[in-house]
Structure 1
């Protein structure tokens, strides 16, 4: 069985590095965990797994609904607009961040602006693919339903 690579360690001031050889980032794609120190605490931010994602659905669904509406109406929004959508769902976002970082909710709530922003961006960096998959899966499903309806014809009785 393959050994899991330790999470990457990042700092607040990333330095440009040479691109990795082909295939070197495959594990990072499969397990995009990132480690960083925030407010003096070592944090490992991880992407939600499948079952965990199902369990968290009630928390993230309203956020994903709003993100979906934005993508459908104007394309993928820039980060500042995504943060605005997050701000409309603060109660669930803080719980989602705490779950992905395996930290206490009170710790997340107690962060100053700089550390809180860093944690939020770290969370989004790791978990954006999780949320965007749900948005685009829904768009594909909506299109399939629309195509099926457009092709359906009524039959005389």
Structure 2
């Protein structure tokens, strides 16, 4: 007879759990140890006005089916000012510091930022897709219900006049 036992978690499993709960990554750039962290809930709401045009363009890219690393890099380049601010926020560095990086260090920072915060942007796209789907379903249900019925007509506005009783013919 088989019995259930608890499988002991390895150190790697615990590390994976920790990364899910607190997905930050560190990298060394120009001799400095940089920590890139995921946006928190409130911080995500605060950066939303800056991030929204970037999210909109990512959404267009995903809907077009042209999802590729080059496509995402093109969207990053299109929204470079916003992305630099978003990266600086996640890495707690000045934007000017990012702007002076060489290509290799800049690419490493950008890819680390996307690895940590990409799910933030994907969740925004998923939320929009679900909202769009629900709205389309609501419209489809409304359209399939047919035309709305006409309201009942108002009662006639006539006054009753008393008439003489009809004689009984017996």
Q: TM-score, normalised by structure 2?
A: 0.76
Asked if structure 1 preserves the Cα contact closer than 8 Å seen for 2:61 and 2:71, the reply is no
Deviation at 1:127, TM superposition (A): 0.5
RMSD: 1.6
Q: Deviations over 1:102-124 (max 9, x none)?
A: 00111011111111111101100
CA distance in 2: counterparts of 1:49 and 1:145, whole angstroms: 28
Q: Deviations over 1:63-119 (max 9, x none)?
A: 1001111112216x1222111111000000000000000001110111111111111
Aligned to 2:49: 58
| Greater Rg over alpha carbons, structure | 2
Q: Deviations over 1:14-34 (max 9, x none)?
A: xxxxx9654541120111100
Task: Name the stretch that deviates more: 93-102 or 30-39.
Answer: 30-39
Aligned residue-pair number: 138
The alignment status of 1:25 with 2:16, answered yes or no, reads yes
Equivalent residue runs for 1:5-154 within 5 Å: 21-74=12-65, 77-152=67-142, 153=145, 154=147
Which secondary structure state, in structure 1, belongs to the residue aligned with residue 148 of structure 2?
Answer: coil
Q: TM-score, normalised by structure 1?
A: 0.82
CA distance in 1: counterparts of 2:102 and 2:128, whole angstroms: 35
The unaligned stretches of length 5 or more in structure 2 are 1-9, 151-170
Could you say if the C-alpha distance between residues 21 and 115 of structure 1 is closer, same or farther in structure 2, counting changes exceeding 3 Å? Answer: closer
The alignment status of 1:156 with 2:158, answered yes or no, reads no
CA distance in 1: counterparts of 2:80 and 2:11, whole angstroms: 36
Asked if structure 1 preserves the Cα contact closer than 8 Å seen for 2:27 and 2:33, the reply is yes
The unaligned stretches of length 5 or more in structure 1 are 1-18
